[in-house]
Structure 1
Amino acid sequence: MSAGAAINPMEQFEVGKLIKFDLLGYDLSFTNSALFMFVVAALLFVFMLGGMKRALVPGKWQLMAEGAVGFIDSMVSTSIGKGGKKFAPYIFSLFFFILFANLVGILPLAVVPGLHTFAVTSHITVTAVLAFFSFGIVLAVGLWKHGFKFFGLFVPHGAPLWLMPVIIPVEFISFMVRPFSLGLRLFVAMTAGHILLEVFGSFAVQGLNAGGIGYGVWFASMLMIIGVSALELLVCAIQAYVFALLTSLYLHDAVHLH
């Protein structure tokens, strides 16, 4: 990062073209965002590949993979209930893609000159695609399983008839807001954490360069960086869990209605 841009906390979110490519007027360039999505997918593939050895005496890697599968299986069984097993592969992929993307995004690669990590989940385009894809599955499952009865989801059981003109629009809006809340929650949480780290990192550099009382600013900033980094690790896991859990709950509504 250049000295003039060191205090720009938004620079880390800039999408850069690594390989420029245009096709029929469409920009199909390979970007740093795409690169890190491939990195995340490769890490997830290696994680599962190493855990599928099925050794008689499982090693640590196999135990981790089996524990991950068991964790998602328990989530799906609890959140979706009967008929939820078929969605376990998607929830597994969703949870661990987001988790790995979050963790890769906070790797301190910038300590090596020329390297800079990229948090793909700090871009609304990525989180929105995940959210709307999940929402599309919910709609498809609900309509396929229940047909027009699926719209009964907007009519709470036992609600008085005279309140329906108010309840149905509220329930419909609440339902349609789901993908936006899914995508925005993950995007905001990851973006805020990275901005904080960038700001405190700039304070640390400026304090160290200033000398004197600036060393105090550097020390305080480093403490904040350590604290925010620890919090970011927790947020990485929580946000992946919340996204997968809410998707499971929405699928429960689609499978069982009320």
Structure 2
Amino acid sequence: MAAEGKINPMHQFTINQIGPKLEIAGYNISFTNSALWMVLALVVIWLFMLGGMKRELVPGRWQMAVEGVTGFIRNMIDTNIGPEGRRYTPYLFSLFTFILISNLLGMLPLAIVPGFHAFTTTSHFSITGLLALMSFAIVLVVGFWRHGFHFFALFLPKGTPAFMVPVIIPIEIISFLVRPFSLLLRLFVAMISGHILMEVFSSFIVNGLGSSSAIGFGVSLLSFVFIVGIGALEILVCALQAYVFALLTSLYLNDAINLH
């Protein structure tokens, strides 16, 4: 992580191979730290759900927490899609919890252990891109499954004046095709920028204390205050980005189900 006394803020995003190298048809499919942290996220979600599915008559705190999250997703669907959107609750719940847990796991202060640090899987556009493409593909499948070629009516809002049709249709098509890129970039940029900022301020603390001067100590103290504030903001961003991703997916599903 450090080279010649300098901290590399991009080191935390490096994907490292774990275990032996595995290849299939020339493609490297080795287990990596990114895969490890995704598995950890799935384990946390499984344990969370396992503890809340006891169906007790008087629900405990754990069961209330699970019911609170599922109720939150159900209310989002009812508001943005309607009763027909209930069938997509499992996907939106999985999407929301996976992004939320992955974001929060990446915030764990494990770097205090030498040679070990938390890995934020949602800080890689390959992961956020896959999630975005999955959501976009579901929207396309649902749209054509329900409406057939009438799904293309989505690109021409009702009541559009005839002279505006040649302008509105290209704009709507471009807006529709940009959706997956908007999803993947929003989550990717939000997570990577916050982590880089925290790493930069941590380097100020290390270098300031290493200078053994009053100014260096002051810079370190001020940087520590900034890190505390940024850390609190990052926790909020972790939840907010998971919510926004699920919210936008539900809105896109609403377009596919109900059109304009």
- For residues 212-237 of structure 1, what are the alpha-carbon distances to aligned partners after superposition, in whole Å with 9 as ceiling and x for unaligned? 12110110110010010000001001
Assess if the C-alpha contact under 8 Å between 2:2 and 2:8 holds in 1.
no
User: In the alignment, what sits opposite 1:127?
Assistant: 128
**Which digits, 9 at most, give the CA deviation of each residue in 1:78-115, with x for residues without a partner?**
11113000001100000010000000011101112232
Contact 1:5 / 1:11 at 8 angstroms: preserved in 2?
no
Cα distance in 2 for residues equivalent to 1:110 and 1:8: 13
Q: Is the 8 A contact 1:48 1:65 kept in 2?
A: yes
Question: In the alignment, what sits opposite 1:2?
Answer: 2
Q: TM-score, normalised by structure 1?
A: 0.98
Q: Structure 2 counterpart of 1:7, which letter?
A: I
User: How many angstroms apart in 1 are the aligned matches of 2:4 and 2:61?
Assistant: 46
Deviation string 1:180-230 (CA, Å, 9 cap, x unpaired) is: 000000000001000000000101000011111211011011001001000
Question: Deviation of residue 11 (structure 1)?
Answer: 0.9
Residues 156-196 of structure 1: per-residue CA shift (max 9 Å, x gap): 11010111111100000000000000000000000100000
Unmatched runs of 5 consecutive residues or more in structure 2: none
Aligned to 2:18, the other structure's residue is in SS state strand
Distance 1:6 1:62, change over 3 A: farther
Aligned to 2:14: 14
Q: Which residue of 2 aligns with 1:111?
A: 112
* 2:18 maps to amino acid: L
In the TM superposition, 1:1-258 aligns within 5 A as 1-4=1-4, 6-19=6-19, 20-212=21-213, 213-258=215-260
CA distance in 1 between partners of 2:101 and 2:6 (Å): 27
Deviates more, 1:12-21 or 1:245-254: 12-21
- Whole-Å separation in 1 of the counterparts to 2:146 and 2:5: 54
| Structure-2 change in CA distance of 1:216 and 1:241 (3 Å) | same
**CA 1:5 to 1:207, structure 2 compared with 1: closer, same or farther past 3 Å?**
closer
**2-structure distance, mates of 1:252, 1:38:** 31
C-alpha root-mean-square deviation of aligned residues, in Å? 1.0
Q: Percent identity?
A: 59
Q: 1:80 to 1:120 in 2, by over 3 A?
A: same
CA drift of 1:65 comes to: 0.5
Q: Deviations over 1:42-69 (max 9, x none)?
A: 0000000000011122111111011111
CA distance in structure 1 between the partners assigned to 2:33 and 2:6 by the alignment: 19
When the two structures are superposed, what TM-score results if normalisation uses the length of structure 2? 0.97
Q: How many residue pairs are counted as aligned between the two chains?
A: 258
Q: CA deviation at 1:24?
A: 3.1
The answer (yes or no) to whether the contact 2:154–2:259 under 8 Å persists in 1 is: yes
Contact 2:97/2:242, CA 8 A, preserved across alignment: yes
AA of the residue aligned to 2:232: A
